[in-house]
Amino acid sequence: MSTRPEDLMAGYLLGELFADERVRVDSIHASGAVNSPEERAALEAVHSVALYTIPTRPGPRVRENLMTSLTGRKRLLPFRDRVAEFLEVDIDTAYTVLTTVDHRVGWTEASDGVRTRTVLAGNRDLDATLIRAAAGTVLPRPSSATSAELFILQGQLRDLDDTIAGPGERLRRPLGSRYRHEVQDGAEAVVLVLSREHVDEA
C-alpha cells in the first residue's frame, strides 16, 4: 500500500520515517524533486506553516557577509565540506585545496585556456587535480587506463549528450566511458578531478 502524501509529510515533520520514506525525503531535500502533484501539494502545505510567523529582517551585516563569501577568493569555501567528502580528506585539507585555486603559481598549461594543478598525489593509484578552464575550452581527458570522478566548483560543463552540469555536481566517468566536457559560455570552469589508474584492467 502506498503512503498517503500527508502521512509521509507527517513523518517528515516528526522525524519518524521508515527507511524507504527517508530515501524519498532525502531526495526531495537534495533537489526539490517530487513524485507527484499530490506530494508537491502536501509538501507546500507542510511549509506553509512557516507563514504562521512574524517576518523579521536580519541585520544588514548578514547580507554583506553572505555576499562577501560568494565573491572573490572565498567564493569556493562553501564547498569545503563536500570537497572533504569527495576527496576523503579532513576539512582543513579541503580548505587548503580550495584556497590554492586562486594561487598564481603551481599551474601547468594543459592546452590553450586550460590549466591543471595537482593537489593530492602519491595516494596509491589515486590523483586529485584542479582544472581551471576558460569558457569554450574542452577539459583534458585522462588516459584510457583511468577512471575519473569530477566535482564542479564553478562554471558549467556540457557533455556529449548535451546535458549540462553545474557547481556542486559530481560526475562519475567509469573506465572506458565516452564523454567530452566542454566549458559553457559565461564563466571559467573550476573542476576538481579524482582519477584512478587501472593498469591491470586496461
- Binding interface with another protein (CB under 8 A): 4, 6-7, 9-11, 13-16, 28-34, 40-59, 62-63, 65-67, 69-71, 75, 78-79, 82, 152, 154-156, 165-169, 186-187
Q: State in angstroms the smallest separation of the CB of 95 from another protein.
A: 14
Q: State in angstroms the smallest separation of the CB of 160 from another protein.
A: 19
Q: Listing from the earlier edge strand, what are the strands of the sheet with 108-111?
A: 108-111, 114-123, 126-133, 189-197, 146-154, 170-173
Which SS3 state, helix, strand or coil, does residue 62 take? helix
Distance CA 123, CA 127 (A): 7
Q: State in angstroms the smallest separation of the CB of 47 from another protein.
A: 4
Distance CA 158, CA 186 (A): 13
Residue type for 88, please?
E
Which SS3 state, helix, strand or coil, does residue 118 take? strand
Q: State in angstroms the smallest separation of the CB of 134 from another protein.
A: 13
Q: Are 152 and 167 in contact (CB under 8 A)?
A: yes
Which SS3 state, helix, strand or coil, does residue 142 take? coil
- Report how far Cα 104 is from the mean position of its chain's Cα atoms: 24
Residue with cell 566548483: 153
Q: State in angstroms the smallest separation of the CB of 58 from another protein.
A: 4
